[in-house]
Amino acid sequence: MTKEKKGEIIASYPYMTAGRTWVIPNVALEHAPDGTVMISGAEAIRMQRIVANEICGQASTLTPEELEFLCDVTSTRFNDVADFLSVTKGSVTFWKKPGKTVPLNESLRLKKWFWKKVFDNDLVKLSIFSVPTLVLTDDGKLLEFLREQGKLFFDEARKAG
C-alpha cells in the first residue's frame, strides 16, 4: 500500500469488495473524536461508486460477487434483477452460486442498468455527457464510454470538493 500523506489522503487505498481487491485513488481519512482514523460515510460511498463504475464499464460477465455488490450498492433486490431481465428468481439464484457467472447478454443489460442506478442523480451534472452515435450500437464500447464518464465525474467531484 502506497501511503502518500497530503493532509489525510492515502494515494492508493486497497479496498476488498466484490470478490477482489481494488485500488482506490486519493482516499480521504478523518479523525474520530476518540482519535481513531476512519473513512467518512461520503468517502465510503465514493469508493463503492468507483468500484461499481469499474465493474459496469467492462463488457464481461458478472461474477456472483459483482452481482451481489451491485445489488447492495443500489439497494436492488434479486427479485428486481429477475423482473428486469424477465427471468425466474431461480435463474438469479443459480448465478449467485460460486463458480457461476451471469450470462454475457444478461450481464451487459445489468451493467447498463446498474450504471444508470449508480449515477442517475449525477447525470445532469455531467454537461459533457453526450453519447457518440457509434457507441450506441456496441455494448462493449458503450460500457467503456460510461466508465470513462464515471471517471470524469469523480475527477470533477474531487476538484469541487
End-to-end, the C-alpha distance of the chain in Å comes to 25
Largest CA distance in the chain: 54
pLDDT of residue 114: 94
Instruction: Give the residue carrying C-alpha cell 459533457.
Output: 128
| Closest among 67, 43, 46, 47 to 55, alpha carbons compared | 67
What pTM was computed for the model?
0.78
Confidence of residue 131 (pLDDT cuts 50, 70, 90): low
Coil, strand or helix: which one is 159? helix
Contact 147, 53 (CB under 8 A): yes
pLDDT of residue 66: 97
Q: What is the pLDDT of residues 22-74, one digit of tens each?
A: 999 999 898 888 888 889 888 999 999 999 999 998 999 999 999 999 999 99
Residue 1, pLDDT > 50, answer no
pLDDT of residue 7: 44
Residue 129, pLDDT > 70, answer no
pLDDT of residue 124: 55
Q: What is the pLDDT of residues 77-118, one digit of tens each?
A: 999 999 999 999 999 999 999 999 999 999 999 998 999 898
Say which residues have a Cβ less than 8 Å from residue 104's Cβ, sequence separation at least 6.
60, 61
Confidence of residue 134 (pLDDT cuts 50, 70, 90): low
Q: Where are the domains of the chain?
A: 9-160
DSSP 8-state symbol, 86: T
CA distance 13 to 121: 26
